[in-house]
Structure 1
Amino acid sequence: MVFAKTWEDFEIAAESMLMEHPEKCRYSMKYTHNQQKLVLKVTNNQKCIQYKTEIQPDLKKIEKFTGNVMNQLTSKN
């Protein structure tokens, strides 16, 4: 499992994985209250990318990313 160093790196890698094979990918989010960390994970059983954050402004970026991904995956092309 690889942790992305920046949000932009995670976003690019995750979107490319999700758009390549949307039927094989999973996207999960886990919040650890004790450590006050949010971990995002995208995997397709071959590759895995993660992003860990502790700062509040990243929540807006995560919300926007999640909405965009869900919109792309559910829209009919």
Structure 2
Amino acid sequence: MVYIDSWDEFVERSVQIFRSDPQSTRYVMKYRHCDGKLVLKVTDNRECLKFKTDQAQDAKKMEKLNNIFFTLMTRGPDADVTEVSGKEQAEPQPSKKGRGRRQ
């Protein structure tokens, strides 16, 4: 079990683990309110990576990692994760055409 200090390294190595064996890779998130710590763990039963933080702003990073794993799980391990962003896409605006009164 290895604690990774760098967020970018944790994400990169986690994606490598998933791509090498997607069927047995697990991603676990654990939050301890009493300590105010968030621990993320990725394992494939051979290698185990952990990232620990107590910073509130790291929640957005965790959301981005969730989106990366969701993309890999739905599109397959060879999916391009560079297009995945932590922000939700804006809803398309309805056209103003046809919004007037009917006659």
TM-score class, shorter-chain normalisation, is: over 0.9
Equivalent pairs counted in the alignment come to 77
**CA RMSD, 1 decimal:** 1.2
Match in the other structure for 2:52:
52
1:20 is aligned with what amino acid? S
1:28 alignment partner, SS class: strand
Show structure 1 runs of 4+ deviating over 6 A.
none
TM superposition score normalised by structure 1:
0.93
Which has more helix, going by share of residues? 1
- Which structure is higher in RCO with an 8 Å CA cutoff and minimum separation 6? 1
Which has more strand, going by share of residues? 1
| Consecutive unaligned residues in structure 1, runs of 5 or more | none
1:31-54 CA distance string (max 9 Å, x none): 011110000000011100000011
Deviation at 1:29, TM superposition (A): 0.2
Aligned identity (percent) is: 36
| Consecutive unaligned residues in structure 2, runs of 5 or more | 79-103
